[in-house]
């Protein structure tokens, strides 16, 4: 697929975009070594949606953080431990986990792994209305 174009705010201009995730992952492997053992690439960005391909080397950790929108994590390869609200979820290739907006979470790669992160991005008005810019229950 030809390169996508972005407007001045970084949003993808094209109304339709197609990605070869295997090819994207192969290209990310060529960029090793990755800082902190993690590589991410935003594939698609609109005002209301983000799709990010993330690869993690075994034992890499994403410390506790949150997203202001609802997310889904679709594991493409490997195994991850996903922690949220005092629970631990082990996710393997083919698993999908969704998480409500602003919930703190962390990730630990149990082996070399990759996943597609999709974020339903809130509007600017919704972002400004958030009490703490995140950390819901």
pLDDT, position 133: 55
Which tens digit of pLDDT belongs to each residue from 45-95?
998 999 999 999 999 999 999 999 999 999 999 999 999 999 999 999 999
pLDDT, position 129: 79
pLDDT, position 73: 98
Rounded Cα distance, 101 and 134, in Å: 8
66: its two tokens: 């949150």
- For residue 120, what is the enclosing H or E element? strand 113-120
31: its two tokens: 């960029």
pTM comes to: 0.90
Pairwise pLDDT comparison (42 vs 123), residue with the higher score: 42
For the chain, count helices (H), then strands (E).
Answer: 2, 9
Share of the chain above pLDDT 90, in %: 77
Cis peptide, bond prior to residue 33, ω within 30 of zero? yes
């Amino acid at each position: 697929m030809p390169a996508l174009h972005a407007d001045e705010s970084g949003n993808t201009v094209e109304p339709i975009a197609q990605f070869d995730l295997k090819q994207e992952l192969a290209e990310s492997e060529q960029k090793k070594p990755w800082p902190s053992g993690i590589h991410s690439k935003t594939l698609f960005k609109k005002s209301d949606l983000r799709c990010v391909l993330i690869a993690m080397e075994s034992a890499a950790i994403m410390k506790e953080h949150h997203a202001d929108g609802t997310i889904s994590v679709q594991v493409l390869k490997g195994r991850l431990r996903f922690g949220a609200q005092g629970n631990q979820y082990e996710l393997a290739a083919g698993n999908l986990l969704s998480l409500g907006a602003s919930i703190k979470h962390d990730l630990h790669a149990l082996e070399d792994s990759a996943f597609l992160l999709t974020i339903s991005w809130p509007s600017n008005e919704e972002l400004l209305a958030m009490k703490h810019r995140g950390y819901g229950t």
